Structure 1
């Protein structure tokens, strides 16, 4: 008589009952059946454990190879909306409205991660830009070295640098005319600004900035609108 026992991995165990066999060989058959049974049970357990382990490792091949799983690192839309709301409705006159902050937020949201974001000017929106580019690099440039140091001390999470501009607002007509004349030479858009002789070329930024491919550049400074302002 055959008795079939089905396990979770569809492995079948066939047990031979000794009562239909000769009585004289019953002890040997019992011993043989017991050994066979324990062997089969061991094989079933081993096979099931190995299969489960292999399946678990195969579910996330990136993790198994030492990599990281691909996830959406952008801030949730409701968090972005909340940040924009409070930044635009702050009780201060020196702030951007929602009509200005929302387009910038949309650009950052479409920017591939990690996003390199360069901002000219330290303003009321500084920590907003840093928060919106949560998993990227956001660098701030300001003409006031003391204010840059103050902002870094107050908000250690931001990266700010000071720069000394050599141009003045009172010279803007001459500067624009000069750029128009040299737009195909010294002031052409694609060049190494570090060694540029264009009068509007920014060649006094930290050297490492010229080797970075900036994805987004926001001009929100320098501040001021007087003749000697940069």
Structure 2
């Protein structure tokens, strides 16, 4: 008798619970739909207020100098990079002088004059190439004059000459870069400049670094890297081009 009297009550409780669950689900679904609609409206408004900008044009052409260098590096078994010991030479100086101004002659190109190296050495013996001054007004054939003004106006504490390319006879070589690095170093108001030349195992870099940066200023050589310390020539009148 007790179970029969409680059965209708239990059924009503279950039905009432299901009704509340259904009601909560409807309320939750309505709130979610409203939130999504508001977000969509906000996104549409934002898109209308901030239309998408056209994508910038992309450069699809590779400079010939870079293309030639890439072809060389991917087809050779020897990658002409500095060894850890060679890097350590400039790293020690950089750590000692930092913060400082460090100029690097990296990947680039000069006029194709490697096969004129002997003639340029002879021209470097002329008086115009031994005049200490701004490379922009130098009358020496070896001076590089096409850089932005801030390159010439800065007093460089370190200069690394590791380019342009010089691995074949038609490559530009580093004669102009070596000479200009030496001229910049001598032309600073005071102090001294550490100049590094890489790949001195090659005839051009060997000959030009000794001639224009001077063996008397050579302080260290590690592998294919030479380290020169060149003082200012503006502070001492009558100082010779090489000691």
The TM-score bracket by the shorter chain reads: 0.3 to 0.5
Q: TM-score w.r.t. structure 2 length?
A: 0.36
Q: TM-score w.r.t. structure 1 length?
A: 0.38
Greater helix fraction, Structure 1 or Structure 2: 2
